[in-house]
Amino acid sequence: MPIFFQHQINENTRLGVWKIEETEEFFKGNVPLHREVTHPHKRLQHLAGRFLLQFLFPDFPYQLIEIADTRKPFLPDEQYHFSISHCGDFAAAIVSNNKRVGIDIEIPVEKIGRIMYKYLSAKEHELFNLIPGGENNTAEMNYDEPTLLWSAKEAVFKWYGNGGVDFRRQIQLLKQHEGTETIDCFFSKDESELTIHYRQFEGLVLAWVIS
Ligand SMILES: CC(C)(COP(=O)(O)OP(=O)(O)OC[C@H]1O[C@@H](n2cnc3c(N)ncnc32)[C@H](O)[C@@H]1OP(=O)(O)O)[C@@H](O)C(=O)NCCC(=O)NCCS
């Protein structure tokens, strides 16, 4: 049971990261497949994400999951709010019985640094001490910080769930607090102030939002 990271946020909300070492058969015996996934590794990621939901809350009703037009999975009666993410050999999920949630997991890669001008505003470049300029400046960059900021915005996007978000303009990252591993955020689409939580592991970034 390779649970890589588990966090009981409070009595209502739990989070888990699974390192996928099992075969597809293991998950298939436990979880229904909810959408056609052609690529074998993506299918494994999808199954592992679903598996985590019941790992976190054993009474999680997989069979009731529906998929919105935005592709966000949800439970119609909102018995649980949940969010799933996968990357490489990792799957992450957060489940709450009373709050909306969003989660994202990323492996830092050069590409995220190369496109950061697309998802970070000039003000954010300044606030987080990043050098703007796209492709030319990435040769000696450390991708951990741009990946963290990207992951933070993806978590907000998933928490919101209705799609149509301008990452650069509408998800405004304001301040990073390294001590508490949080980032203050203003989401202008619905005028909410959010706290994004994060963890940085060796070669892996995790971000989540509960509100
Ligand atoms: C939908 C999206 C969030 C998926 O992210 P990803 O990094 O490709 O994949 P992840 O593994 O992190 O997440 C996939 C999971 O997110 C969930 N998901 C899919 N669409 C979602 C949505 N609209 N809202 C919330 N969750 C969603 C699903 O659970 C999915 O996994 P599953 O199909 O196996 O259940 C992403 O592709 C996306 O559209 N992001 C917004 C991009 C954007 O607008 N960028 C503009 C600025 S550059």
* Cα 69 to ligand 1 centre (Å): 12
Return the structure tokens found at 149: 């900021």
- pLDDT higher than 60, residue 139: no
Residue 136: band (very low, low, confident or very high) from pLDDT cuts 50, 70, 90: very low
Residue 153 near ligand 1, beta carbon < 6 Å = no
Please give the Cα distance from 50 to 184 (Å, whole number). 29
Q: What is the pLDDT of residues 154-186, one digit of tens each?
A: 999 999 999 999 999 999 999 999 999 999 999
Task: Determine how β-strand 66-67 pairs with β-strand 13-19.
Answer: unpaired
> Distance from CA of residue 27 to its chain's centroid?
21
Please give the Cα distance from 87 to 64 (Å, whole number). 25
* Cα 91 to ligand 1 centre (Å): 13
pLDDT computed for residue 137 by the predictor: 55
Q: With 0.85 as the threshold, say if the pTM is over it.
A: yes
The structural domains of the chain, ordered by start, are 3-99 (3.90.470.20), 105-210 (3.90.470.20)
Instruction: State mean pLDDT over 101-122.
Output: 93
Neighbours of 74 (CB within 10 A): 17
Q: What is the pLDDT of residues 84-108, one digit of tens each?
A: 999 999 999 999 999 999 999 999 9
- pLDDT higher than 80, residue 132: no
As to burial, measured by CB atoms within 10 angstroms (0-12 exposed, 13-18 middle, 19+ buried), residue 10 is: exposed
* Cα 187 to ligand 1 centre (Å): 18
Return the structure tokens found at 115: 């496109």
Residue with CA nearest ligand 1 atom 34: 46
Residue 81 near ligand 1, beta carbon < 6 Å = no
* Cα 37 to ligand 1 centre (Å): 15
Beta partners for 16? Answer: 6, 93
Residue 74 near ligand 1, beta carbon < 6 Å = no
DSSP state of 30: T
Residue 167 near ligand 1, beta carbon < 6 Å = yes
Q: What is the pLDDT of residues 16-64, one digit of tens each?
A: 999 999 999 998 887 877 778 889 999 999 999 999 999 999 999 998 9
From first CA to last CA, the distance across the chain in angstroms is 30
Residue 46 near ligand 1, beta carbon < 6 Å = yes
Please give the Cα distance from 192 to 187 (Å, whole number). 5
